Amino acid sequence: MEPLLGGRLANPASHVKEALGNEKKSVEYALDFLWDQPEVSLLLSGMSDEQQLEDNLLYADRSHIGMVTEEEHAMYRKAKEVFDSMALVGCTGCRYCVPCPFGLEIPEIFSYYNMTAAHKEDEAKTGYEALAIKADSCKTCHRCEKECPQMIKISQVMPEVAKVFEKIQA
């Protein structure tokens, strides 16, 4: 489920695209990696149009375990390093955590927070300031954490988010 991390691997940041190369679409790289794993027998990927469906069927049809070369594995490791360095929270934006009983738009808050790690502080600040309810409104009820498939400790991260944006705004 969510083999493209809520779409983040379908259209990754330019730094990740550079690490992957341009011989395939980003989606194809991501799905090929998964189809290469012996423990994977089914992928549940959301699609928005008929072309994405056709592409995904093509990728699945030609897939097999061992299809990824050692050079490609090295490329994937490098892309993962870049990807991981750009995200402070591994939120995929699936939105299972909302609605929050206190009105926090958790995926959006995490998206702006992650932008700060990608050196997009101005964009992050603008987006965060536009939110009606900020991270410091989290009441640590843990409802969201029970729903999060990434098992993010949301109530622990929200105070960190609030501190970062306090510093940026100062």
Q: Which amino acid, one-letter code, is at 150?
A: Q
* Least confident among 5-9, 109-113, 161-165: 5-9
Q: How confident is the model at residue 10 (pLDDT cuts 50, 70, 90)?
A: confident
Cα–Cα distances in Å, from 6 out to 1, 103, 109? 9, 22, 16
What pLDDT, in 10s, does the model give residues 27-86?
999 999 999 999 998 888 888 999 999 999 999 999 999 999 999 999 999 998 888 777
70-128 tens-digit pLDDT:
999 999 999 988 887 777 898 988 999 999 999 999 999 999 999 888 767 899 999 99
Q: Does the model's pTM come out above 0.85?
A: no
- 155: three-class secondary structure by DSSP: helix
Own/partner long-range contacts of 39-47 (Cβ < 8 Å, ≥24 apart) = 43/3, 44/1, 44/2, 44/3, 45/2, 45/3, 45/4, 46/4, 46/7
The answer, yes or no, to whether residue 170 has pLDDT greater than 70, is no
**2 three-class SS:** coil
Residues 145/152, Cβ–Cβ less than 8 Å: yes
- What tokens were used for 124? 């992050």
Residue 99: the pLDDT is 97
The DSSP code for 65 is T
Integer Rg of the chain from CA? 18
